[in-house]
Structure 1
Amino acid sequence: MKIKNIYLVLCLLGIIIPYASFIPWMMENGLNVPLFLNQIASSPVASFGWLDVIVSEVALFVFIYSDSQKRKVQYWRLTIIGTLTVGVSLGLPLYLYLREISKNE
């Protein structure tokens, strides 16, 4: 299997796995932002996880912007949208996929 196809599979998993937990929560609680934020900070371990994700997202954004300018990766902005709407689990493999296909053009 080619690496670009592996990145595509990781994109799909990066959407399916996080949303498999989030969608049932949303169906039960709706768009209850105060409850969501309360549960994010409900324990030091939960806060640790979310703070780790935030730092990872910022690092990913810096990497994507810098690398996409050097390598002339098209559609890199989609990875920012993917990261903000799903997470690093989509943004990173999506960027790596776009980078791979830009090498082949």
Structure 2
Amino acid sequence: MQGVYWLLCVLGTMLPYASFIPWLAEHGLALPLMWQQIMASPLAVFAWADVLVSALVLLVFMRVESRRLGMAQAWWPVLGLFSVGVSLALPWFLLMRERHLAARKAQVH
């Protein structure tokens, strides 16, 4: 699964940025315009609400699961959450979790 999670990290970074970077190049960091476009339609609001709730759920999951498993440095994917979004942070955390579990299993055997 580690290879799958790596691939999802790459896709989860490239796909959102493929849309955001051209917008940023055209408009710069125009926060009022960004907010206006986020609120432009009920569908856009729906999508952003879904992303924000998913990000909150992911933060709670990462905190609880990393404590439960005793994962060190489990906060790294939070950087992905704030720099890209859930599409990077979730597979990054799952990759770290998979590695942690594999290392624990190797110590037992």
What is the TM-score of this pair, normalised by structure 1?
Answer: 0.95
Q: 1:12 aligns with which of 10, 13, 20?
A: 10
Gaps of 5+ in 1: none
Aligned pair 1:104/2:75, yes or no? no
The equivalences for 1:1-105 within 5 A come to: 3-105=1-103
Deviations 1:62-85 (A, max 9, x none): 000000001122221111111111
SS in 2 for 1:104: helix
State the one-letter code of the partner of 2:26: E
Q: C-alpha distance in 1, partners of 2:7/2:70? A: 23
Name segments (4+ residues, structure 1) moved above 4 Å. Answer: none
Q: C-alpha distance in 1, partners of 2:14/2:26? A: 18
Q: Is contact 1:75–1:98 with CA below 8 Å preserved after alignment?
A: no
Identity level (%): 43
What is the TM-score of this pair, normalised by structure 2?
Answer: 0.92
Q: Is contact 1:10–1:93 with CA below 8 Å preserved after alignment?
A: yes
Q: C-alpha distance in 2, partners of 1:93/1:53? A: 15
Q: Is contact 1:8–1:93 with CA below 8 Å preserved after alignment?
A: yes
Q: C-alpha distance in 2, partners of 1:75/1:30? A: 33
Higher CA-based Rg: 2
State the one-letter code of the partner of 1:24: P
